[in-house]
């Protein structure tokens, strides 16, 4: 009888262990406190594939959909669980509005939804921030929000974040003049600003203010939860010193929030797009995939999606979405706690 009981116990234990979720090897935890947000057993799902250069994901709660751009094919796509992936806006960021190189990464990049549900686009080729006036169209109508600073045409707005009162913060690197073959920026008379700026646009008085021009290639941008600070990804492709910069919005003073030099070049990936979780943690693309950094600047986790460009949450932060780079042209999601 004792042998039978022991045998049953062994079978029961084996069954329980076989059904227990195993940690995902693509999730690296450096501080266990982050497991209140990240499920170490969560599965990485591919929700879209064969997108030339996916970017700028944003969640639309009204349609329960993820919008994301393809900077190379000049399109915006829409994904949801019911219909999968479909073309949403064509063209998205290069309509002939402004002069550019004529080829390269000229479609829309960063996307945002304002308080009224309007889609705001960072248009590389058109070199402006624009609002979409008609949804889901192959004959889109855009309304220019801002296309210049002190009378000089912007370089190519790249990413955007909105405050609760509708103020827009955006980065303006010169990707309208980027040669993807030589992987370098082209000197051209079409470029009117001799710096790469981080700007604030006030929709109430329609003024554009320069916050800083001291970040050489600013890319991803996000507001802190209290909206007192602005995080900006410094790509480091000009000086091999990538970092996340933190700007005090009262003084416009810039400090290094997270130094990425030790990570840069060891694995594929760069400091590109980012979002701030409601906990205050910064979720950013970086070397090796997606990095999760505490409000104090401590690296807490990494999720290996491969080389990615940007990320987003749904409204309830149930899922994290990530868009892949050229060598990894996919869109992913992973369930959070």
Q: What is the CATH number of the domain that holds 207?
A: 2.120.10.30
Does residue 329 belong to any structural domain of this protein? no
Does residue 173 belong to any structural domain of this protein? yes
* Token pair recorded at residue 4: 């039978």
* Token pair recorded at residue 24: 């995902």
Does residue 322 belong to any structural domain of this protein? no
Does residue 120 belong to any structural domain of this protein? yes
Q: Is the pLDDT of residue 105 over 50?
A: yes
Does residue 291 belong to any structural domain of this protein? no
Confidence band of 180 (pLDDT split at 50, 70, 90)? confident
Give the long-range contacts of residues 128-131, CB within 8 A, separation 24 or more.
128/97, 128/98, 128/154, 128/157, 129/157, 129/160, 129/168, 129/170, 129/201
Strand order of the β-sheet with 289-293 is 27-29, 299-303, 289-293, 282-286, 274-276
Q: Is the pLDDT of residue 2 over 80?
A: no
Q: Is the pLDDT of residue 269 over 70?
A: yes
Domain residue limits at 86 = 52-275
Q: Is the pLDDT of residue 66 over 60?
A: yes
Number of domains in the chain: 1
Q: Is the pLDDT of residue 15 over 50?
A: no
Rg (CA), the chain: 21
Q: Which residue has the tokens 């192959």?
A: 138
**Phi, psi of 7, deg, nearest 5:** -65, -40
Q: Is the pLDDT of residue 6 over 70?
A: no
Q: Is the pLDDT of residue 312 over 50?
A: yes
Q: Is the pLDDT of residue 292 over 70?
A: yes
Strand locations in 64-126, DSSP E?
65-70, 75-80, 84-89, 108-113, 119-123
Does residue 255 belong to any structural domain of this protein? yes
Q: What's the mean pLDDT in 229-251?
A: 92
Confidence band of 262 (pLDDT split at 50, 70, 90)? confident
Confidence band of 20 (pLDDT split at 50, 70, 90)? low
How does the average pLDDT of the chain come out, rounded? 92
Q: Is the pLDDT of residue 11 over 70?
A: no
- Of the two residues 199 and 20, the one the predictor is more confident about is 199
Q: What's the mean pLDDT in 68-80?
A: 97
- Of the two residues 135 and 78, the one the predictor is more confident about is 78
Does residue 334 belong to any structural domain of this protein? no
160 within 8 A of 129, measured Cβ to Cβ: yes
Q: Which residue has the tokens 């950013």?
A: 284
Q: Where are the alpha helices (DSSP H) in the chain?
A: 2-19
Q: Provide the pLDDT for residue 199.
A: 98
Neighbours of 6 (CB within 10 A): 10
Q: Is the pLDDT of residue 38 over 80?
A: yes
Does residue 106 belong to any structural domain of this protein? yes
Q: Is the pLDDT of residue 41 over 80?
A: yes
């Amino acid at each position: 009888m004792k042998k039978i009981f022991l045998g049953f116990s062994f079978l029961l234990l084996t069954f329980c262990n076989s059904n227990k979720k195993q940690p995902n090897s693509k999730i690296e935890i450096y501080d266990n406190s982050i497991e209140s947000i990240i499920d170490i057993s969560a599965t990485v799902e591919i929700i879209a594939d064969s997108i030339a250069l996916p970017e700028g994901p944003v969640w639309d709660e009204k349609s329960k959909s993820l919008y994301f751009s393809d900077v190379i094919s000049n399109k915006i796509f829409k994904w949801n669980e019911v219909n999968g992936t479909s073309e949403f806006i064509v063209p998205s960021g290069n309509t002939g509005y402004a002069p550019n190189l004529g080829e390269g990464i000229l479609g829309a990049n960063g996307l945002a939804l304002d308080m009224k549900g309007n889609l705001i686009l960072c248009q590389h080729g058109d070199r402006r921030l624009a609002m979409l006036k008609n949804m889901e169209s192959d004959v889109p109508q855009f309304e220019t929000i801002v296309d210049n600073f002190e009378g000089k045409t912007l370089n190519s707005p790249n990413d955007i974040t909105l405050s609760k009162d509708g103020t827009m913060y955006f980065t303006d690197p010169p990707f309208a003049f980027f040669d993807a073959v030589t992987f370098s920026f082209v000197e051209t008379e079409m470029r009117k600003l001799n710096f790469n700026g981080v700007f604030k646009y006030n929709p109430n008085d329609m003024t554009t203010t320069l916050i800083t021009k001291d970040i050489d290639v600013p890319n991803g941008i996000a507001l802190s939860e209290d909206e007192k600070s602005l995080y900006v990804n410094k790509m480091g492709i000009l000086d091999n010193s990538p970092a996340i910069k933190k700007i005090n919005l009262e003084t416009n003073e810039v400090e290094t929030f997270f130094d990425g030099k030790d990570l840069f070049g060891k694995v594929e990936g760069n400091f590109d797009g980012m979002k701030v979780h409601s906990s205050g943690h910064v979720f950013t693309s970086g070397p090796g995939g997606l990095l999760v950094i505490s409000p104090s600047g401590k690296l807490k986790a990494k999720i290996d999606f491969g080389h990615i460009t940007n990320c987003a949450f749904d409204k309830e932060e149930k899922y994290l979405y990530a868009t892949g780079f050229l060598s990894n042209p996919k869109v992913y999601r992973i369930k959070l706690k």
